[in-house]
Amino acid sequence: MTQKFKVLVTRKWPSSVENKLKDTFDVTLNENDNPLSKAELIEAIDNYDALLPTVTDTINDEIISSKNRRSKIIGNFGVGFNNIDIESAKKNGVVVTNTPEVLTDCTADIAMLLILGAGRRASEGEFHVRKKEWTGWRPTHMMGTKITDKVLGLIGMGRIAQAVAHKAHFGFNMRIVYYDPYFKNYEIAEKFNAQACSSIDDLLKDSDFVSLHCPSTKETKGLINLEKISKMKKTSYLINTARGDIVVEDDLVTALEKKLINGAGLDVYEEEPKVNSRLLELKNVFLLPHLGSATEETREAMGMRVFSNISSFFDGKEPRDRVV
């Protein structure tokens, strides 16, 4: 790669990755880490050879179809790419890449944290201590739900769901059930004795914890609504580390208020970073600020994956993680 291609990074990335980009490309960084406006994103795609957004940047058709577009590749920082208009990218001949695999374990760890946190009322308990409301141990104080030996239902059976299944089964002796019509690698499922469900409804009624691991698509948007939640056990919990719009948040709040289920653990939200104000008032929901991949090791690996993808592209090679 002799030519120094112009690259724009939309948010602040780990310093090791930014330094790697600076050594190789003519790179513009976002030192203030402020989100770019649509006008700024159009300006970027018009003036740079590569646009490197994150999953919180909406790269829509208006941006990709800009008549002055210079960028030929969008290197997304994240495994999800529902923030990018994929059909527009196809139409305009723009390559899109993502960062799979490297965030699997850390996101699975967060799913387990939400299972434990929701089931054992962790956030509620911490605030109880911080507010100096705790008056001492007593037999019936803040009783939660045992995690060990419970049934964990996974909607979606991709890499992250498999990692959660492994941790839950071997770490907590949980029985694993799953629903994923596209998953056919039964040898993997057998490793943690996972049983396939014939429908989402069957999974919902049998599970003590339901963990979402499906992508956000037209088919899955709003998949978990009041009707679906009503099929869950009243003692069960809903866990979401996938995408916020898979769950109809108002319906979830209603279910939690009416105690149709015991609780929930969320790392993603329907209108992120805005969090439904009704959720904030509830004690039976454990909330995290989209921390799924938020470890130094993983975020650096994600950035390096973007670097590898765009380097391959500019070298005339096929990017490893090409989506379009």
Which of the residues 40, 43, 101, 272 is marked catalytic?
272
Query: How many residues are recorded in the chain?
Result: 324
Q: Backbone phi, then psi, for 78, in 5-degree steps?
A: 150, 155
Which of the residues 70, 166, 278, 290 is marked catalytic?
290
Would the CA dihedral through 99, 101, 105, 111 be positive or negative? positive
Q: How buried is residue 98: exposed, middle or buried, by Cβ count under 10 Å (0-12/13-18/19+)?
A: buried
3-state secondary structure of 81: coil
Six token digits for residue 119: 């089931």
Report the C-alpha gap between 309 and 324 in whole angstroms.
12
CA-closest candidate to residue 324, choices 43, 67, 8, 87? 87
Amino acid letter, 289: P
The CA–CA distances, whole Å, from 195 to 80, 151, 186, 214, 228 equal 26, 11, 9, 17, 20
**Whether 128 is catalytic:** no
Report the C-alpha gap between 21 and 28 in whole angstroms.
9
**Whether 322 is catalytic:** no
Which of the residues 243, 270, 299, 305 is marked catalytic?
243
Looking only at the bridges linking them, the beta strands covering 95-97 and 73-75 are parallel
**Whether 290 is catalytic:** yes
Active-site residue numbers? Answer: 243, 272, 290
